[in-house]
């Protein structure tokens, strides 16, 4: 009897377990169906349309990386500028690019959408950490200057539409209430180390823009630049884009707002001016542009001077290193050569020394009345008998001598000739070769295998001596 009761209880418990499992299965199945039905129902409701609208807005901000490059550590509006971006595009990525860690440090209470990129090489960071190009994963880059305020949720949509129409161009966005931007044309001659700025009449397309503005760029275009984050920004970017024949288009009907006014104190203005000069000099040196002609006609030199070394080192096989790069002699070096040659010719003329142009210098005078654009020295021939007429040549025979104008005269160590240097530091030079007549043929004691163009010649070529522009 007890056994039957125990069996009944066991069967009852098993039955209850089956019933419990059945209801749990039903509950889970019902929840799955509700979920599926819920998704199906949502697709046909207006709420999902609203969701589509949100996604559409996110789509634009997810296609763009905001970048702040032009700012100063000692007076900036970075925090409010970033807030302005995130207030309108809360999921936007913002990169703050600086040459050194920002000091004092800036701390954001936002999510991971804001990132600092420190370009300074440090043992504590990686190549990826300090390379902005590797941090940009979106299709577009939007460079906004410090103290910017965004004013429209449709801003990115408009800019993306403009860029889609002209994907190979940079879009410049002006600021409301700021001075009107100035459009310039760049004439870039990399071979001759030259750049010239020309002001254009009002137009939407140019090479270089002055005045406060933001830049919207397709990242494929941005990554064509050798160093898109070089300072001063965006000046360096414009020179690089001009070298790639990439134009800048000024946006119409799109404006940004200014934030607070920066650099109000005279001290900060002075600091900014000093930094701008240093950065401009560094930029032109890095881009190897020696002669800069501004839009107002002023010429600025960023190459060698008398108190600096020349732009190139020792010559091997009569071929300067810049010729291998497809460039001609830097214009600052040509200017130094001209100055040295004029001085030497004046001294020889004053001493009544008979002289003439030799080799490539003669060829340059015949072709264009100037030094050949790829030549790196000036060669002059004189009568050996006339050396005693020139005090500087006589004094240079024993040891180098510097004349009152700072030019250095010396006897060359490579052979029987003289050399006149631009200065003690800058070794641009003019070579003076003494010739003498032998049976009516002008010859000399020093010949170079690397100068196959040098030849003996009949003395009557020099009688009479004539003049030529040089």
Residue 191 sits in a domain whose CATH number is 3.90.550.10
| pLDDT mean over 194-220 | 93
Residue 3 lies in a domain: no
Residues 118 and 201 in one domain: yes
Q: Say which CATH number the domain at 401 has.
A: 3.30.460
Residues 69 and 210 in one domain: yes
Distance separating alpha carbons of residues 252 and 151, to the nearest angstrom? 15
Residues 370 and 245 in one domain: no
Query: Which tokens sit at 320?
Result: 């300067």
Residue 221 lies in a domain: yes
Separation in Å, CA 465 to CA 303, 357, 359, 441, 462: 36, 11, 16, 16, 5
Residues 347 and 252 in one domain: no
* Cα pseudo-dihedral 259, 265, 266, 270, rounded to 10: -60
pLDDT grade for 37, boundaries at 50, 70 and 90: very low
Residue 21 lies in a domain: no
pLDDT at residue 46 above 50? no
Residues 340 and 229 in one domain: no
Residues 76 and 223 in one domain: yes
Residues 121 and 234 in one domain: yes
pLDDT digits (tens, 9 = 90+) for 55-79: 444 578 899 999 999 999 999 999 9
Residue 405 lies in a domain: yes
Look at residues 144, 181, 109, 152 and name the one whose alpha carbon lies nearest to residue 259. Answer: 144
pLDDT at residue 53 above 50? no
User: What does the pLDDT read at residue 38?
Assistant: 29
> Would you say 432 and 382 are in contact if contact means Cβ atoms under 8 Å apart?
yes
* pLDDT, the chain, mean: 88
| pLDDT mean over 192-196 | 97
| pLDDT mean over 217-241 | 97
Identify the domain boundary among 258, 279, 299: 258
| pLDDT mean over 177-199 | 93
pLDDT at residue 225 above 80? yes
Residue 81 lies in a domain: yes
User: What does the pLDDT read at residue 51?
Assistant: 36
Residue located via tokens 């100035």? 182
Tell me how many domains the chain contains. Answer: 2
pLDDT at residue 161 above 90? yes
Among 67-71, 112-116, 130-134, 211-215, which stretch is predicted with the lowest mean pLDDT?
Answer: 112-116
Distance separating alpha carbons of residues 192 and 199, to the nearest angstrom? 22
Residues 123 and 227 in one domain: yes
pLDDT grade for 111, boundaries at 50, 70 and 90: low
Residue 29 lies in a domain: no
Identify the domain boundary among 258, 289, 322: 258
Distance separating alpha carbons of residues 6 and 4, to the nearest angstrom? 5
User: What does the pLDDT read at residue 322?
Assistant: 95
Please give the model's pTM, rounded to 2 decimal places: 0.82
Residues 233 and 375 in one domain: no
Domain that holds residue 383: 331-462
Residue 6 lies in a domain: no
Residue 191 lies in a domain: yes
pLDDT at residue 42 above 60? no
Coil/strand/helix, residue 413: coil
User: What does the pLDDT read at residue 47?
Assistant: 27
């Amino acid at each position: 009897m007890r056994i039957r009761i125990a069996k009944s209880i066991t069967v009852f418990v098993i039955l209850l377990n089956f019933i419990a499992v059945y209801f749990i299965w039903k509950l889970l199945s019902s929840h799955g169906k509700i979920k599926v039905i819920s998704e199906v129902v949502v697709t046909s409701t207006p709420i999902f349309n609203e969701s589509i609208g949100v996604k559409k807005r996110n789509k634009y901000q997810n296609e763009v990386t905001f970048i702040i490059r032009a700012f100063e550590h000692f007076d900036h509006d970075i925090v409010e500028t970033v807030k302005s971006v995130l207030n309108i595009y809360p999921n936007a990525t913002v990169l703050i690019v600086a040459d050194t860690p920002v000091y004092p440090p800036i701390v954001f209470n936002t999510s991971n959408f804001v990132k600092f990129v420190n370009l300074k090489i440090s043992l504590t960071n990686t190549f990826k950490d300090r390379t902005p190009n590797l941090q940009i994963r979106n299709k577009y880059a939007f460079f906004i200057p410090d103290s910017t305020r965004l004013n429209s949720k449709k801003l990115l949509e408009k800019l993306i539409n403009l860029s889609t129409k002209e994907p190979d161009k940079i879009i410049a966005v002006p600021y409301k209430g700021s001075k009107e931007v100035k459009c310039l044309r760049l004439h870039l001659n990399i071979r001759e180390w030259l750049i010239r700025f020309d002001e254009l009449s009002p137009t939407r397309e140019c090479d270089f823009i002055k005045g406060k503005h933001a830049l919207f760029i397709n990242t494929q275009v941005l990554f064509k630049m050798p160093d898109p984050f070089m300072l001063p920004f965006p000046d360096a970017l414009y020179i690089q884009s001009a070298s790639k024949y990439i134009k800048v288009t000024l946006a119409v009907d799109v404006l940004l707002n200014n934030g607070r006014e920066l650099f109000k104190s005279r001290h900060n203005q002075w600091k900014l001016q000093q930094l701008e000069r240093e950065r401009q000099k560094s930029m032109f040196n890095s881009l190897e542009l020696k002669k800069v002609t501004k839009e107002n006609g002023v010429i600025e030199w960023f190459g060698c001077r008398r108190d600096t070394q020349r732009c190139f080192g020792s010559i091997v096989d009569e071929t300067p290193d810049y010729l291998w790069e497809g460039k001609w002699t830097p214009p600052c070096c040509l200017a130094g050569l001209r100055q040295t040659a004029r001085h030497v010719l004046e001294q020889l003329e004053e001493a009544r020394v008979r002289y003439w142009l030799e080799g490539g210098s003669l060829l340059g005078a015949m072709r264009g009345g100037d030094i050949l654009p790829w030549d790196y020295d000036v060669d002059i021939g004189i009568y050996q008998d006339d050396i005693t007429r020139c005090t500087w040549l006589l004094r240079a025979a024993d040891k180098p001598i510097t004349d009152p104008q700072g030019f250095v005269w010396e006897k060359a160590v490579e052979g029987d000739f003289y050399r006149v240097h631009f200065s003690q530091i800058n070794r641009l030079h003019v070579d003076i070769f003494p010739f003498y007549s032998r049976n009516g043929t002008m010859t000399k004691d020093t010949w170079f295998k690397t100068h196959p163009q040098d030849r003996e010649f009949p003395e009557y070529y020099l009688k009479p001596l004539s003049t030529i522009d040089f």
